C-alpha cells in the first residue's frame, strides 16, 4: 500500500488505547459554562441576560466581527451568571446555565434556513455554517465559514484531515468509524462551498480500519481516501497538504493560496449535521486518556460541561496527577486544575502522572543536528534558540522563526533535553512585542 508523507517529523510513542470501543454519551451536566470566546478571533458578546430561560441550540453569544463564531446553549435551563471561572480567569467570561433537565430544544437553524441542502448556494452554505457556530474541531478552532471564504481563488483540493497524529487521541478515529456517511457528506458540502472538484480524506496508516470503511462507503470518483505514514506531525495542515499533493505552502501564505482547503473530519460531520439536520454545534467528541486513568474512552460531551464532572463520570483519577493536558501531549496545553469547561476546541483531556511529565536535566548542546533533521519546517532550531538567547531576534526572524509551528519535534528528539520549543515560543513572543 502506498503511504505518502512529508520531510522531517518524528515517531512518537502512540499510546492510543481502546480504539475498538464506541463513543459513549457524556454526562448531562447540572451546569454548563460556555466561554464567550471558544475560537480564534473576536470574542462574542452575550445575547442573553442573567435570569433568561434558554433552550438547547439557542444562540447565547455572537459578535459583529468577521472572524468569530456564535455560541449556543448546550442544555436547557436558566442563565444564572455571566462571569469568569474563579480558577481559570484566562478563559474570560462564561455564560453559566443551570440545567432544568427538560432538554427542550430551539430550532434556531431551522427557523433561519428553509431551503433544501441541494438548493443552497455557496454563500448560503457558508452563512449556515457560521450560524451553526462551527469552528475547526481538530483543536485549531478557526471559524469554518471564514476558512471557506476563498474569495476569487480557485480551490482544486479539499482535504479532510483524519491524521490525528497526536499520541493518546482517538476521537477522530472513532468518528470516522461511526459517522463515515456524515464525513463524506460534510466533505461534499465543503467542496460545494469552495467550488472544488476533488476531495481527499487523509488518514494515517495506524487507522486502516477507518481507511477501509470509508473506501467502501465512497461512491464518487472525485473523492478518495489517501493513506499517510503515521508520523508526527502528519495532522498539521502544511505537512498534510504536502503529503497529499506535494504542494508547499510558502512562508506567510495560506493553503488557499495554493488551491487547497483543509478541514478536520469532525468539522465535516458538524457541517453535515448543520446542513441536513439543522443542528448547531453544542457537543463534540472528546478523548479522555492518560496514565492517570484506568482506561481510555471517547465521550460525546455537551459543550460547557465541567471537565471535573466528566472525569468523575469516567471513574475519576486512579493515581496522583501531576498535570491535566487539554489536547494532545505534543501541542496541547497543560493545566493544574480540572475546574474548567469542555469547549469547542477540546479534542482530548489527558491526565498525566509524575512519571510521564518528569523533566530531564538540561545539558549542553552536543551539536548532533537531530533537531534540524526532524524539523518539518526545515528550520535550524538550535541556531534560532542561540539567536533568541543572545537577543538577536531580528536575525532569528530572517531565518524563519515565525514559520515554527511549535510542533515540539525538536524538543522531543534533543538528547540534551534542551527545551527548544519553549525557547522558540518565547522568541516569537519577543518578536511580536518588538513588531508592536
Q: Which residues bind ligand SF4 (CB under 6 A)?
A: 365-371, 374-375, 377, 379, 381-382, 404-410, 413-416, 418, 420-421, 424
Minimum distance between the CB of residue 388 and ligand SF4, rounded to whole angstroms?
A: 11
> CB-wise, 35 or 381, nearer to ligand SF4?
381
What does the alpha-carbon distance between residue 155 and residue 284 come to, in Å, rounded to a whole number? 28
Minimum distance between the CB of residue 385 and ligand SF4, rounded to whole angstroms?
A: 7
- CB-based burial label for 46 (10 Å; 0-12, 13-18, 19+): middle
> CB-wise, 133 or 427, nearer to ligand SF4?
427
> CB-wise, 112 or 399, nearer to ligand SF4?
399
**Residue 216: how many CB atoms within 10 A of its CB?**
10
CA-atom Rg of the chain in angstroms:
22
Minimum distance between the CB of residue 204 and ligand SF4, rounded to whole angstroms?
A: 18
Minimum distance between the CB of residue 400 and ligand SF4, rounded to whole angstroms?
A: 9
Q: Where are the beta strands (DSSP E) in 229-296?
A: 260-264, 283-289
What does the alpha-carbon distance between residue 329 and residue 334 come to, in Å, rounded to a whole number? 8
The DSSP secondary-structure symbol of 85 reads B
> CB-wise, 271 or 418, nearer to ligand SF4?
418
Minimum distance between the CB of residue 169 and ligand SF4, rounded to whole angstroms?
A: 18
- Buried b / exposed e along 156-169 (16+ C-beta atoms within 10 A): bbbbbbbbbbbbbb
- Cβ distance 263 to 190 under 8 Å? yes
Minimum distance between the CB of residue 3 and ligand SF4, rounded to whole angstroms?
A: 22
> CB-wise, 230 or 420, nearer to ligand SF4?
420
Minimum distance between the CB of residue 39 and ligand SF4, rounded to whole angstroms?
A: 24
Question: Sign of the C-alpha dihedral, residues 399, 400, 406, 409?
Answer: negative
Question: Sign of the C-alpha dihedral, residues 263, 264, 268, 270?
Answer: negative
Cell numbers of 255, please?
A: 493553503
> CB-wise, 67 or 369, nearer to ligand SF4?
369
3-state SS, residue 350: strand
Chain centroid, CA 381 distance in Å: 25
What are residue 241's phi and psi, to 5 degrees? -60, -45
| C-alpha distances in Å from residue 372, one per residue of 7, 360, 378 | 11, 21, 7
Q: Which helix H or strand E contains 227, and what residues bound it?
A: strand 223-228
3-state SS, residue 100: coil
> CB-wise, 47 or 386, nearer to ligand SF4?
386
> CB-wise, 254 or 365, nearer to ligand SF4?
365
Minimum distance between the CB of residue 170 and ligand SF4, rounded to whole angstroms?
A: 23
> CB-wise, 233 or 345, nearer to ligand SF4?
233
What does the alpha-carbon distance between residue 277 and residue 231 come to, in Å, rounded to a whole number? 36
Minimum distance between the CB of residue 1 and ligand SF4, rounded to whole angstroms?
A: 28
Amino acid at each position: 500500500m502506498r503511504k505518502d508523507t512529508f520531510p522531517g517529523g518524528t515517531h512518537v510513542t502512540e499510546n492510543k488505547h481502546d480504539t475498538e470501543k464506541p463513543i459513549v454519551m457524556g454526562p448531562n451536566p447540572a451546569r454548563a459554562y460556555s466561554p464567550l470566546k471558544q475560537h480564534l478571533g473576536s470574542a462574542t458578546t452575550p445575547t442573553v441576560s442573567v435570569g433568561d430561560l434558554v433552550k438547547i441550540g439557542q444562540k447565547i453569544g455572537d459578535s459583529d466581527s468577521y472572524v468569530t463564531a456564535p455560541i449556543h446553549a448546550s442544555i436547557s435551563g436558566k442563565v444564572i451568571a455571566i462571569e469568569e471561572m474563579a480558577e481559570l480567569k484566562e478563559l474570560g467570561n462564561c455564560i453559566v446555565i443551570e440545567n432544568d433537565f427538560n432538554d427542550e430544544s430551539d430550532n434556531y437553524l431551522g427557523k433561519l434556513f428553509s431551503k433544501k441542502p441541494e438548493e443552497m448556494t455557496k454563500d448560503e452554505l457558508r452563512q449556515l455554517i457560521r450560524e451553526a457556530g462551527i469552528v475547526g474541531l481538530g483543536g485549531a478552532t478557526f471559524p469554518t465559514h471564514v476558512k471557506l471564504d476563498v474569495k476569487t481563488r480557485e480551490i482544486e483540493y479539499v482535504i479532510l484531515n483524519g491524521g490525528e497524529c497526536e499520541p493518546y487521541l482517538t476521537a477522530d478515529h472513532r468518528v470516522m468509524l461511526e459517522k463515515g456517511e456524515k464525513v463524506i457528506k460534510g466533505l461534499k458540502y465543503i467542496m460545494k462551498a469552495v467550488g472544488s472538484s476533488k476531495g481527499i480524506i487523509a488518514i494515517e496508516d495506524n487507522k486502516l480500519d477507518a481507511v477501509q470503511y470509508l473506501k467502501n462507503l465512497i461512491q464518487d470518483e472525485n473523492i478518495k481516501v489517501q493513506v499517510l505514514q503515521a508520523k508526527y506531525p502528519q495532522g498539521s495542515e502544511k505537512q498534510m497538504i504536502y503529503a497529499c499533493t506535494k504542494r508547499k505552502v510558502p512562508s506567510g501564505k495560506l493553503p488557499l493560496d495554493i488551491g487547497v482547503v483543509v478541514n478536520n473530519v469532525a468539522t465535516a460531520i458538524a457541517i453535515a449535521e448543520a446542513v441536513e439536520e439543522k443542528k448547531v454545534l453544542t457537543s463534540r467528541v472528546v478523548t479522555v486518556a492518560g496514565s492517570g486513568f484506568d482506561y481510555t474512552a471517547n465521550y460525546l460531551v455537551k459543550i460547557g460541561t465541567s471537565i471535573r464532572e466528566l472525569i468523575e463520570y469516567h471513574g475519576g483519577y486512579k493515581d496522583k496527577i501531576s498535570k491535566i493536558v487539554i489536547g494532545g501531549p505534543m501541542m496541547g496545553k497543560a493545566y493544574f486544575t480540572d475546574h474548567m469547561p469542555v469547549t469547542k476546541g477540546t479534542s482530548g483531556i489527558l491526565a498525566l502522572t509524575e512519571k510521564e511529565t518528569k523533566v530531564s536535566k538540561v545539558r549542553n548542546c552536543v551539536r548532533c543536528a537531530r533537531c534540524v533533521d526532524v524539523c518539518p519546517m526545515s528550520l535550524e532550531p538550535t541556531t534560532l534558540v542561540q539567536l533568541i538567547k543572545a537577543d538577536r531576534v531580528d536575525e532569528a526572524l530572517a531565518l524563519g522563526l515565525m514559520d515554527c509551528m511549535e510542533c515540539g519535534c525538536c524538543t522531543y528528539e534533543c538528547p540534551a533535553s534542551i527545551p527548544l520549543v519553549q525557547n522558540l515560543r518565547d522568541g516569537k513572543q519577543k518578536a511580536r512585542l518588538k513588531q508592536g
